[in-house]
Each structure stands twice: as structure tokens, then as C-alpha cells.
Amino acid sequence: MDKMFASAKDLKEGKYLLIEGVPCKVVSIDSSKPGKHGAAKMRITGIGIFDGQKKQLLVPSDADVEVPIIERSTAQLVAVNGNTAQLMDTATFETFELTIPEEFLKDAAPGKEADIMSAMGKRAITRIH
């Protein structure tokens, strides 16, 4: 189970949610006041954490939204080939390959450690130190 449910009115900027099945970080929340016959609506804007795409979700404020379960771990860079890195998880010793984001290319070198964020079966490098 890679997701859980939370109330839309409990969301804040900087939290994570699923929009169209894509894990996104909330960047803005606009809410309208309730009308004569309806509930208040919330327009939530999020940026995909793996693809960087902007997505929007319009839901009633009392609705439940899907929230991804995000796991963070550390991995050691074993080899760097262009913009691809072979990494080894420091806890499970599993090896895998990931694309290195542009802002971390200059810091990437074998032997360094990287912070990894994983959700919904996908992984991404968030920092190299």
C-alpha cells in the first residue's frame, strides 16, 4: 500500500498528495466560501516530485484526498556514467540505477552518499553529500 487518505481541509503547502495518480508537492491552495446550496471548494496546485509537471485538483473541502507514503533513505554512489548513477542502498545493500538531476551533476562522484526519496514505486535523488 503506497497511499493513504486524508481530509482536503487538513492539507497545507509543502505537504504531498496524489493528483491523477502522480505524487505531487502542494505549492498553493485556494478555497472558495460555501454557497447557498453547496460546500466550499478547494483548488489545490501541486508540482510532480518525479517529473516536475504542474497539476491542479478541484475538490470539496470535506472530501478525502489520496496522500502518497514517501520513504526517504540514503545510498552510496558506486559508479557515475554521464548523468546516470549506480547506487547501493546503505540499509538493504540493494543496487539500482537513477538519473542524476542537473543541479547535482558536479557533486556526483563514486563513494559519495545521496539522499533518495521513493514513492509509488519510483525513486529520485534529492541531495548528494
| pTM (2 d.p.) | 0.82
Per-residue pLDDT of 67-82, as tens digits, reads 999 999 999 999 999 8
Residue indicated by cell numbers 540493494? 94
3-class state of residue 105 by DSSP: helix
- What residue ranges define each of the domains in the chain, with the CATH number in brackets? 3-68 (2.30.30.30), 71-128 (2.40.50.140)
The three-point CA angle 101-107-109 to 5° equals 105
The three-point CA angle 112-93-4 to 5° equals 100
Per-residue pLDDT of 12-63, as tens digits, reads 999 999 999 999 999 999 998 887 878 889 999 999 999 999 999 999 988 9
Nearest to 63 by CA among 46, 40, 47, 45: 40
